[in-house]
Amino acid sequence: MSRLRLAGLIAGALAVLTLAVLFALGLRINTGSGMPDLAALKAPAADHDVEIIRDAWGVPHVYGARDRDVAFGLAYAQSEDDWATLQEVVVATRGDLARHKGMDAAVTDYLVHLFRIWPTLDTDYDALPAHIREIAESYAAGANLWAAENPGQVWDGVLPMTGRDVIAGFMFKTPFFYGLDKTFKELFAETRAKEISLGPDNAFMWTDKPTYPIGSNGFAVAPSRSTDGHTRLLVNSHQPYTGPVAWYEARLKSEEGLDITGGVFPGAPVILHGHNRHLGWANTVNKPDLADVYVLEVNPDNADQYRLDGAWRDMDVSTAIIRVKLFGPFEWHAEREVKFSDHGPVLETEHGTYSVRYAGMGETRQLVQYHALNRATSLEEWLEAMRLLALPSINYIYADKAGNIAYVYNGQMPVRPEGWDWQQYLPGDRSDLIWQEYHDFADIPKLINPPSGFVINANNTPFEATAEADDLRPEDFPAHMGIETQMTNRGLRALELMRADDAISDEEFLAYKFDKTYSQDSELAALIRLWLAQDFSGDEMMEAAQAHLAAFDMSADKDDTHAALALLAGEPVVWARMQGEPEPDPVDSLREAVAHLTTHWGRLDVPWGEVNRLRRGDVDLALGGGPDLLRAVYARDPKPDGRLVAQGGDTMIYVADWAPDGTLRTRSIHQFGSATLDEDSPHYADQALLYADQKFRTIPLDRSALEAEATRTYRPGRDG
């Protein structure tokens, strides 16, 4: 045998051996799941009676005989406009995102397994009310229909979408709104982040340590506080401009009584916040203490046991297979143990073994509550829906045509034993510290029809929500609820404006929403005072910067020539505080802002709108507003031209206005338009100019007005 042939045989043998080893270690070839029967995916359309009318701005108005028909149509319309995001949400909640997105998504997949989303659904899905399962399944059927008509845009393995996927989306996402992700990130740090609570002999005192949520505004003004006897509601959530938690606008109307307009996220078959003919609500993020970390003592002879009440207890152990995309047809199958204690999911780290118990764990009724809120027609019915307490967090600002207003600091508040510091980690060997119940709805903070006639929330403490005389008091609520006590600039400004105005007109209401001023009690104001107190003698540029800041009137209007320096210098410091990250030195941040402006513009007096931009396709517009302003605009990481491009903040904004006779006027604006992905659509950026100019469009709620401006009318599954 020749040496060349022998070398070839050896190389071939080594290659086979290497592949064998790699396959043993988890390397696999993704052969694909194949496309299911497309005719079968289209068949449920025959059981759904739905009509979609796109208004002048492309927003879908979905009419159906039943609520489930409307859910079917909403899914179809949203799939038309943003299928890519919808399928990503579905795959993520199945714990299979890394197979499509690669290693960066593996943590998301692991958390789905760790939260036991699918074992819980296998047990509890059939116990959900029949009408809720029908709505979820009809939404899935609408998405399946569009996907079957457009198979080239569908990832392998996504279809069919099911009603369980819809419920799983709520289960997985809702705990992250109060910051559960930060709890898990903290546990994966290199060292233990907190001490272990010492118990009742070291009683816990709640402190003012801030949490700095990024955004959302909600106002409600009663007839007694308005100049014209109207009731007004501002719905103004701050979200990313794109992605799985970006707002999609729709109007839903069924013959069963559903008639509501507002916003949804991909995968939601009902309106998440907005208003119907009778009432409406705005959501803002709140962050009570809803998650507890327990330190487990693990059996040194058995890593699957932990000590509880003096005895070793077995963990519930299963294996998760995480499929990770590599290259070409290859994917990596990583096996990871998933452990669960009596407390909750278990995490094994270099500095200890922990278990987490959190609000929303095992909860499947989110859609039950959202649907009840959508269908409510009075304050009493709306409060009855809120009493379900299926949503683990989120503030609610409410108003209705009868002139009622309310603020509810909603949350699944654990009933915890007193005397322990629940902000620290808890010993995991005591079953009496494993809370089992939530406080009743009657126990959570709320204001209903305060005499002052207005309520606000801008991610600030619930103890500053209206006139001082009517505000809730911290001492009336247990310390273990962990209710936040911080103020945002937006909260400060909303109260400064509304407390001083005994009669709020429509024009003033809108002006307050778009206020661009930083309070003298804000963090930015404190930073400016710090910068002005520095001795920059002999540093000509920094002396010029001080003089420039001294003339700043605290307004981030797009034409203001002082805002750019203040905001560019202040944003990195305040952002770090928001995220709980190490703060840059404020003086260094000011120097960097000076360098940025002089490098790109050659001067400090650059109009803010020259720096702060809204970009979408060919649209490039100046924006007023900025971080933590009531006119909220968040833009980080300057582009090569030195400009900031807005990425989030004010997105879908609604103003619902009920006259004394109950007549409803509704106005809305979206930062881009209804066509999320289609750059060729006229609705890709058709609302951007209105958004930049702070103008609204009126929503046609009556069918005749809608038909007069309709751009398209169709019946999914029945046309053609």
Please report which confidence band the pLDDT of residue 26 belongs to, taking 50, 70 and 90 as the band edges: low
pLDDT tens digit sequence for 627-670? 999 999 999 889 999 999 999 999 999 999 999 999 999 999 99
Please report which confidence band the pLDDT of residue 32 belongs to, taking 50, 70 and 90 as the band edges: low
Burial code (b: 16+ CB inside 10 Å, e: under 16) for 422-454 equals bbbbbbbbbeebbbeebbebeebbbbeebebbb
pLDDT tens digit sequence for 218-266? 999 999 999 999 999 999 999 999 999 999 999 999 999 999 999 999 9
Adjacent-strand bridge partners of 607:
none
At 152 the pLDDT is 95
Between 523-532 and 586-600, two packed helices, what is the crossing angle to 10 degrees?
Answer: 90
Peptide bond preceding 269 in cis form (omega within 30 of 0): no
Query: What tokens were used for 251?
Result: 């109007």
Burial code (b: 16+ CB inside 10 Å, e: under 16) for 163-191 equals bbbbbbbbbbbbbbbbbbeebbeebeeee
Collapsing DSSP to helix, strand or coil, 137 comes out as: helix
Please report which confidence band the pLDDT of residue 200 belongs to, taking 50, 70 and 90 as the band edges: very low
Please report which confidence band the pLDDT of residue 14 belongs to, taking 50, 70 and 90 as the band edges: very low
Task: Reply yes or no on whether the pLDDT at 12 is more than 70.
Answer: no
257: left (phi over 0), alpha (psi -120 to 50) or beta: left
At 16 the pLDDT is 43
- CA gap 500, 512 in Å, rounded: 12
Q: Measured in Å, how far apart are the chain's first and last C-alpha atoms?
A: 70
Nearest CA to 687 among 652, 644, 646? 652
Query: Whole-prediction pTM value?
Result: 0.92
At 27 the pLDDT is 63
At 202 the pLDDT is 33
Adjacent-strand bridge partners of 291:
358
Pick the residue with more confidence: 235 or 204?
Answer: 235
Average pLDDT over residues 458-466: 97
Average pLDDT over residues 461-481: 97
Please report which confidence band the pLDDT of residue 194 belongs to, taking 50, 70 and 90 as the band edges: confident
Nearest CA to 518 among 612, 635, 631? 631
Average pLDDT over residues 180-195: 83
Average pLDDT over residues 354-366: 97
DSSP strands (E only) in 297-422: 298-299, 302-308, 311-314, 316-327, 330-340, 345-349, 352-358, 395-400, 405-409
- CA gap 23, 135 in Å, rounded: 43
Residue 160 · residue 36 · CB < 8 Å: yes
Nearest CA to 569 among 541, 594, 590? 590
At 324 the pLDDT is 83
pLDDT tens digit sequence for 40-58? 999 999 999 999 999 999 9
Please report which confidence band the pLDDT of residue 214 belongs to, taking 50, 70 and 90 as the band edges: low
Please report which confidence band the pLDDT of residue 718 belongs to, taking 50, 70 and 90 as the band edges: confident
pLDDT tens digit sequence for 281-292? 999 999 999 999
Please report which confidence band the pLDDT of residue 197 belongs to, taking 50, 70 and 90 as the band edges: low
The CA–CA distances, whole Å, from 140 to 74, 88, 124, 390 equal 10, 14, 19, 22
Collapsing DSSP to helix, strand or coil, 47 comes out as: helix
pLDDT tens digit sequence for 572-627? 998 888 777 889 999 999 999 999 999 999 999 999 999 999 999 999 999 999 99
Adjacent-strand bridge partners of 294:
355, 426
229: left (phi over 0), alpha (psi -120 to 50) or beta: left
At 422 the pLDDT is 95
User: Which strand ranges, in their side-by-side order, compose the sheet holding 60-64?
Assistant: 446-448, 405-409, 395-400, 279-284, 273-276, 259-264, 248-254, 60-64, 50-54, 712-714
Nearest CA to 196 among 397, 459, 421, 450? 421
DSSP-derived pairing of the beta strands 291-296 and 298-299? unpaired
Q: Which of 141-155, 255-269, 351-365, 564-578 has the lowest mean pLDDT?
A: 564-578
Find the angle CA(670)-CA(671)-CA(675) to the nearest 5 degrees: 75
Query: What tokens were used for 65?
Result: 């005989």
Average pLDDT over residues 432-448: 98
Nearest CA to 239 among 202, 266, 221, 257? 266
- CA gap 304, 307 in Å, rounded: 11
Q: Which of 105-119, 354-368, 369-383 has the lowest mean pLDDT?
A: 105-119
Q: What is the mean pLDDT of the chain?
A: 92
% of the chain surpassing 90 pLDDT = 83
At 215 the pLDDT is 75
Task: Reply yes or no on whether the pLDDT at 135 is more than 50.
Answer: yes
Nearest CA to 490 among 653, 648, 289, 284? 284
Average pLDDT over residues 531-540: 96
At 323 the pLDDT is 87
Query: What tokens were used for 393?
Result: 């967090």
At 719 the pLDDT is 81
Residue 635 · residue 645 · CB < 8 Å: yes
At 22 the pLDDT is 40
